[in-house]
Structure 1
């Protein structure tokens, strides 16, 4: 990780450290980790584990917001993916066909959103709102309006199993985060996405195929949402179309914004968004451990959104710029000194 990257994510690291410290103050055994029955246990492990769905959603949401878009349908796509996985596995098929079918459903949803935005030029908030409303209905049709349970060990392992003692969801979101980050930063894809977010018309004039890239980022978002849906369904060993992924799109957007990514598009950082997801889950944890009502969670998230939007507003940014400009020292002309009888102006 370069020095520039560390400087970029320094605020998120500080916020995460503060929130984790609050958890430690409320619950002194917060950082205690124990290994039992081949599995790691501990409150800090739970933060990384329970934050997996939000982290997965944040990966795709980061790319979409970088293009100056938004995806309000990720919660509904989670419900669809979970319903598809449960319905396939309950027919007697193995967990592999169930997972592949759920991923295909997520990609199909992403393709639908991408076509509406890129080809038919529907505003992203409207295009994804359609699937947000209709998608949950589709999930309810798949499950016939009831919670569809399953006992397939392979599928359950994705949400509740471990690999070398580490919960599988943690490894999944870390793997996806590293993979997507390498793809967008080791290739020109990240730069092209940022170019579209800054000015799509100029990027098209420069020869960038913005339509293909827009469809691609919505496909990635749909795929990440399907993974999150599989994790949630595997964790509860069932598909709950009514509650799976409910309001998760707001957590994903909040994670991206907490990560310092602008809603106006352009430069982005997936690592910062993942830290934002961990901050959200850490806030949830401190509220739970402190015994406060869960409703405080929604209030705190609302206050975080207001504070971040306030900081990102053009008026505040301009005021900060003027303050920095006024705080910078002014260099006056240095005195002229004589050297060997001749006048010589000192050079700074």
Structure 2
């Protein structure tokens, strides 16, 4: 049991769970009913702050999942927030063009168009990085600006809304009492986890991140792998955009996905994936995304001013990273032992 606890304490995502628990505890101190679950008398659906956190976490889980594999190859994708806007814009414009409020065909068409467009943008990123040889920071920074412009072109520079009941249920519906978007997100996480761990793809991604030259000499072709991870990141970002716009059935070309790339990077780092590349943790990134969603909800619930919000989030994240540091933990343990010895001598 002691060995298990030591292993657990050294696991980064464990401290993500601790952070989530502490944030929920802080909210409960302010309002003892914070974790209460009720039933909406009009819709018959479950309601509560916890369900809101799960719903908000769905798009963050998607972009964090895609970012995990990009970072594992020693890259970065700064365009995920803008690709979310492109996916949302494409979906809303498609639904508005079809104009069938109850059509499942319109919903699937909108989803397909959004994901296809996301894949194309991801392919461009992948080609710029793997074939042209641009630095991931530069190529995805360019795509971040370009994709936001593409979203404006798609919508004519206007916020676009549409009506489609099946599409709206992606975020506002429930499956077994859980938000539909969260259930879909977790299902995607499970599927991709199985693909990464039951095939050689995950191992090849890690090997490229650890030593691309050694990987090449071992027979691994880096270019197709790099293109794959950037396409996957963009497709998942487009899916995150679908989750975001389906909640309000409106795309804000300036606001949708704004600065979400920062949340994605934070979620991945909190989950234990190193920015230096190499081994990645899908579970860790998922826990990190849940932590970011809980933190965002906590900021609103506590009424932290907009000016102080970045500082509040930074303090929480820095404290969590310190808890993850083995050097800091060892220092605290050694200080505790020295104090115990002094008390024993006295």
CA radius of gyration, larger in: 1
Counterparts in 2 of 1:161-310, with a 5 A limit?
161-303=173-315
Deviations 1:306-333 (A, max 9, x none): 5677789xxx87x669979x99xxxxxx
Higher helix share: 2
Check 1:282–1:322 CA distance in 2 against 1; reply closer, same or farther (3 A cut). Answer: closer
Counterparts in 2 of 1:1-348, with a 5 A limit?
8=11, 9-36=13-40, 37-92=43-98, 94-303=106-315
TM-score (normalised: structure 1): 0.85
TM-score (normalised: structure 2): 0.86
Check 1:123–1:303 CA distance in 2 against 1; reply closer, same or farther (3 A cut). Answer: farther
Contact 2:92 2:110 in 1 (8 A): yes
| Structure 2 gap segments, 5+ residues each | 100-105, 336-346
Contact 2:82 2:148 in 1 (8 A): yes
Check 1:136–1:201 CA distance in 2 against 1; reply closer, same or farther (3 A cut). Answer: same
Q: Equivalents in 2 of 1:117, 1:306: separation in Å? A: 31
Range moving further from structure 2, 156-165 or 251-260: 156-165
Contact 2:77 2:140 in 1 (8 A): yes
| Structure 1 gap segments, 5+ residues each | 328-348
Range moving further from structure 2, 224-233 or 153-162: 153-162
- The offset of 1:228, in angstroms, is 0.7
Q: Equivalents in 2 of 1:35, 1:322: separation in Å? A: 47
Check 1:38–1:322 CA distance in 2 against 1; reply closer, same or farther (3 A cut). Answer: closer
Q: Equivalents in 1 of 2:213, 2:306: separation in Å? A: 45
Check 1:321–1:152 CA distance in 2 against 1; reply closer, same or farther (3 A cut). Answer: closer
Contact 2:19 2:320 in 1 (8 A): no
Q: Equivalents in 1 of 2:187, 2:296: separation in Å? A: 24
Check 1:320–1:240 CA distance in 2 against 1; reply closer, same or farther (3 A cut). Answer: closer
Number of residue pairs matched? 320
